[in-house]
């Protein structure tokens, strides 16, 4: 085709595109490769938040933001590739929440599923559907979708935890709803020093009923979305240490266990999978990738992770209470300088439910 003919064809196409635009039409062939790529191309980037850098700012937020101003006093960990979107990955939200002594965050509920992983401090509690749990560092707590929940700190020290939610996913689905509980201290306008909601069940009830690979018969709490909402760190750590005594580590993950819903055997939450992972001292994992994106919180130890491919390979050194993100389908390998324990969550259950989850050694 001559240059003149090519220019004429191009102009005819542009005229065609201008003509169909007012009709709300667009040519697929111009965007097909972006819509159906050869492999996932997440806008999220590998990222690391160092505890030594972010902790002072979390505490500073407690000085600057009044108790009545914030619905929840949280600093969002925004992915550098997704700034302004309140997202750690394309489907996951992560933030650092602070509750000061004497404060109560009133009860509310929302369609988004939430998790808490306690990083620092003792004496605060979270309550889910009328049952409180006094939190310790390393505890993993679930707030299932549309369950009433509140937090309080009758203790004497600030408490900080990691919040993980499926906010970006529900935003894509246009399915975000929230409701305040006026009978639990008034509208959820932020942390207050007012009364907490009254417990409806004794603390430890869910753990006693569902935490020993048993459940009551006949089922007494069928209406509860997730019957076991707290996984104490002492029990979880003991389980992964016992696994480490049973044989050699997995070549990619070391010793890794998944938190499960004891009534189904599946993921503890429908949209997010959660894991506790032990890496032996000197462990170096194989290169690996998977379609689920993940957020990691270091509980104990020191190590490193390499994410991506040359020339955009990133290497992060991590230590206790640091956080990092592995985006979808980016290859990574992880290693430990000392015996280490990491907590992580990902959007894997959604991938599995849709039949699109993939993994590969690289």
pLDDT digits (tens, 9 = 90+) for 118-136: 999 999 999 998 899 999 9
Whether the Cβ atoms of residue 199 and residue 132 lie closer than 8 Å to each other: yes
The CA–CA distances, whole Å, from 18 to 4, 23, 30, 152 equal 21, 10, 14, 58
172's tokens: 């894509």
Mean pLDDT of the region 213-228: 71
What pLDDT, on a 0 to 100 scale, did the predictor assign at position 203?
A: 87
Q: From edge to edge, which strands make up the β-sheet containing 303-307?
A: 314-318, 303-307, 332-336, 288-290, 359-361
Q: How many helices (H) and strands (E) does the chain have?
A: 7, 22
Q: What is the pLDDT of residue 321?
A: 98
* Topology, domain 47-361: Jelly Rolls (2.60.120)
pLDDT in tens, 261-271: 998 899 999 99
The band of 250, judged by pLDDT with boundaries at 50, 70 and 90, is very high
Q: Which two tokens stand for residue 212?
A: 């020993």
**What is the predicted pLDDT for the residue at 217?**
81
Reported as a single tens digit per residue, the pLDDT across 184-194 is: 444 333 444 44
This prediction's pTM: 0.92
So where are the chain's domains? Answer: 3-35, 47-361
pLDDT per position as a tens digit, 268-310:
999 999 999 999 999 999 999 999 999 999 999 999 999 999 9
pLDDT number for residue 65: 87
């Amino acid at each position: 085709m001559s240059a003149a003919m090519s220019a004429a064809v191009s102009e005819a196409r542009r005229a065609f595109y201008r003509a169909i635009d007012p009709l709300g039409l667009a040519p697929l062939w111009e965007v097909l490769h972006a819509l159906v790529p050869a492999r996932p191309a997440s806008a999220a980037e590998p990222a690391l938040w160092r505890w030594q850098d972010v902790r002072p700012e979390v505490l500073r937020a407690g000085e600057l933001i009044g108790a009545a101003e914030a619905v929840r006093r949280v600093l969002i960990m925004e992915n550098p590739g997704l700034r302004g979107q309140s997202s750690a990955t394309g489907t996951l939200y992560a933030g650092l929440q602070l509750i000061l002594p004497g404060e109560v965050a009133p009860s509310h509920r929302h369609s988004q599923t939430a998790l808490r992983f306690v990083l620092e401090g003792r004496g605060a509690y979270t309550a889910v559907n009328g049952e409180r749990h006094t939190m310790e560092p390393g505890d993993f707590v679930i707030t299932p979708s549309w369950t009433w929940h509140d937090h309080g700190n009758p203790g004497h020290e600030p408490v900080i935890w990691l919040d993980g939610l499926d906010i970006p996913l529900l935003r894509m689905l246009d399915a975000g709803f929230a409701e305040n509980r006026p009978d639990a201290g008034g509208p959820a306008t932020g942390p207050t020093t007012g009364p907490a909601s009254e417990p409806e069940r004794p603390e430890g009830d869910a753990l006693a009923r569902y935490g020993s690979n048993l459940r009551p018969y006949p089922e007494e709490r069928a209406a509860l979305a997730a019957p076991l909402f707290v996984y104490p760190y002492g029990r979880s750590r003991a389980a992964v240490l016992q696994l480490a005594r049973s044989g050699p580590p997995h070549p990619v993950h070391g010793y890794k266990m998944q938190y499960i819903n004891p009534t189904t055997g599946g993921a503890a939450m429908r949209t997010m999978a959660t894991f506790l992972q032990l890496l032996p001292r000197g462990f170096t994992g194989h290169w690996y990738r998977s379609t689920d994106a993940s957020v990691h919180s270091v509980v104990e130890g020191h190590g490193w992770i390499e994410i991506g491919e040359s020339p955009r390979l990133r290497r992060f050194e991590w230590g206790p209470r640091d956080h990092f993100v592995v985006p979808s389908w980016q290859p990574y390998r992880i290693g430990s300088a000392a015996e280490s324990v990491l907590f992580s969550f990902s959007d894997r259950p959604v991938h599995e439910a849709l039949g699109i989850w993939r993994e590969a050694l690289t």
